[in-house]
Structure 1
Amino acid sequence: MLRVGAHESIAGGVYNAVDSQLDDGGNCGQIFTHSPQVWQDPNIDDDEAEQFRAKSTDNDVGPWVIHSSYLVNLCTPKDGLREKSIDSMQKEVDAAAKLDVPYVNVHLGAHTGAGVDGGLDNAASALDELDVPDGVTVLVESDAGSGTKLGGDFDHLAEVLDRSAQDLEVCLDTAHMFAAGYDLSSPEAVAETLAEFDDVVGFEKLSCVHLNDSKHECGTNKDEHAHVGEGYIGEDGMRAFVNHEAVREVPLVLETPTEDGKSFAWNIQRVKDLRE
């Protein structure tokens, strides 16, 4: 069964994300538990959580993913930022347990001078400090790879999974992969890129995909999302990706823009049309 949905707002109550998802035609999705631009704790009361769980179950919407704050930097060598990042992640995995959300998604962050190896060690050890509740899994997301940010190379993902004692899994972002230099613009490129991911990380670790086209060319390290099939990945690449055997059972979450008269609903329908 095709699981496709969007990153929905929780304005007015986290349960409203379920209604928005249904309105957009989705059956899985992603949320922030608070503004991702500030250090803030999730503020979800028991009644809200119960309504979210009930609406999701009653309407067969799931799995859901919580996306961590943009401020979290697991790779940092700075003690203060590291502690804030760990504390923020702990609150996110606890919120996920409260909501019966199986996944919390996080970017590795930037090593800011610690070096690639040092940054990966920092990330793995930070993740090891989390007390992850049963039923919740942390997903490490692929990155566009600009500056000292890690996660742009499949090797980075594999190394963190190997170095951490946590049972981590992976979220691939198609726009980020493309920006980092992994071509997805043709059926042949999709097959080659996903074969490399399987060789380095393994399809068994792939639990979610952020399905986004790219406004910039492959290898530019520029992270700007486009409507599905209308960016540089294009229709042929997106069709090949969503129909690849390794992706068919993986939930697809859209973080596409709302512009040109096209919203999440348009992009969700576009994915459904591309699926064969």
Structure 2
Amino acid sequence: MLRIGAHVSIAGGVGNAVERQLDIGGNCGQVFTHSPQVWDHGDISDEGATQFREETEAALAGPWVIHSSYLVNLCTPKDDLRAKSLDSMQQEVDAAHELGIEYVNVHLGAHTGAGVDGGIENAISVIDELDIPDGVMVLVESDAGSGTKLGGQFEHLARVVEGTAAEVGVCLDTAHMFAAGYDLSTPEAVDETVAEFDDVVGTEHLYCIHLNDSKHACGTNKDEHAHIGDGHIGDDGMRRILTHPQWRDQPFVLETPTEDGRSYAWNVEHVQALHEE
């Protein structure tokens, strides 16, 4: 079964996320637990958490993923930002436990002068300080690799997965990988990238794929998402991503734009059509 969904809003209460997912034809998905632009997490009501868990169990294949705040920077050498990032991530894994969500997804962030080795060590140290509840896993996400941001190379992800005391997984973003230089635009290119990821990180550590096309060419380090099939990856690459034996059973989560009269529902339908061809 194809597991496809999108990042949906929790406006009005987290319990509303399930209905929004169903409205676009999704059967799994992703949420922010609060505004990703602020540190304040607010509170999740017991009623909302119960509604979310019950409706998810009744209507969706799952899983759900929590996407951490954009402010979180695991790689930072700055003590104050590290402390805020640690606190925010602790609140996210606790919220995941409360909501019955399996995964909390996070970007490694930017080392801002600490260097690649220092940044990776910083990220590992933050993850190792988390008190992660049973049934919850942190996923480190691949990045487009601009500036001093880490996660653009598979080796960065592998070093975090291997270096943490916690069991940590990976979330791959197709637009980010493509922007970072991993070609996905043809079936042959997808096969090569899948093989490289398996060799460097290991498919057994992959738990989610953000399915996004790219408005920019491969290797540009520019992170701008396009509708599925409309970007530089295109339908041929997307079809192979969805059907590759090592990736096809993953949950695919859309973060595609709302533009040109199309939003998530169009992209879900298009993905389903590509998967069935």
**Offset at residue 141 of structure 1 (A):** 0.2
**Partners of 2:179 and 2:185 in 1: how far apart?**
12
Query: Equivalent residue of 2:30, what SS?
Result: strand
Q: 1:12 corresponds to which residue?
A: 12
Percent identity over the alignment?
71
- Give the C-alpha shift of residue 40 in structure 1: 1.4
The residue correspondences of 1:125-204 to structure 2 (distance < 5 A) are 125-204=125-204
Cα distance in 2 for partners of 1:8, 1:41 equals 17
Match in the other structure for 1:118: 118
Encode CA deviations 1:9-62: one digit per residue, 9 max, x unaligned.
Answer: 000011111001001000000000000011111420110000000111111241
Q: How does 1:246-265 map to 2 (within 5 A)?
A: 246-265=246-265
Residue by residue over 1:206-249, the C-alpha shift from the partner in whole angstroms, topping out at 9 and shown as x without a partner, is 00000000000000000000000110000111011111011111
Q: Deviations over 1:77-128 (max 9, x none)?
A: 0000000000000000000000000000000000000000000000001100
Letter of the structure 1 residue corresponding to residue 153 of structure 2? D
Q: Deviations over 1:138-170 (max 9, x none)?
A: 000000000000000000000011111110000
TM-score, reference length from structure 1: 0.99
CA contact (8 A) 2:35 2:41 kept: no
Distance in 2 between residues matched to 1:42 and 1:176, nearest whole Å: 30
Query: Equivalent residue of 1:149, what SS?
Result: coil
For residues 236 and 41 of structure 2, the distance between their equivalents in structure 1, rounded to whole angstroms, comes to 41
Q: 3-state DSSP class of the match of 1:104?
A: strand
Q: Counterpart of 2:125 in structure 1: which amino acid? A: S
Distance 2:227 2:108 in 1: 25
2:112 counterpart letter in structure 1? T
**Which consecutive unaligned segments of at least 5 residues does structure 2 have?**
none
The question of whether the paired residues in 2 share the 8 Å contact of 1:27 and 1:60 is answered with: yes
Quote the Cα distance in structure 2 between the aligned partners of 1:38 and 1:217: 31
SS of match in other structure, 2:13: coil
Give the C-alpha shift of residue 5 in structure 1: 0.1
- The residue that corresponds to 1:206 in the other structure is 206
- In structure 2, distance between residues paired with 1:92 and 1:212: 24
The whole-number CA distance in structure 2 between the counterparts of 1:100 and 1:7 is: 17
TM-score by length of 2: 0.99
Which residue number in structure 1 is paired with residue 95 of structure 2? 95
Matches of 1:55 and 1:275 in 2, distance apart? 26
Moved over 6 A (4+): none
Residue identity matched to 1:11: A
- Note the C-alpha offset of 1:193: 0.5
Cα distance between partner residues in 2 of 1:20 and 1:269? 15
What is the aligned residue count? Answer: 276
- Residue type of the alignment partner of 1:131: D
Structure 1: runs of 5+ lacking an equivalent: none
CA distance in 2, matches of 1:116, 1:87: 23
Q: How far apart in 1 are the matches of 2:216 and 2:40?
A: 32
> For the Cα contact (< 8 Å) 1:105–1:140, is it kept in 2?
yes
Alignment root-mean-square deviation, CA: 0.6
Structure 2 matches for 1:16-95, cutoff 5 A? Answer: 16-95=16-95
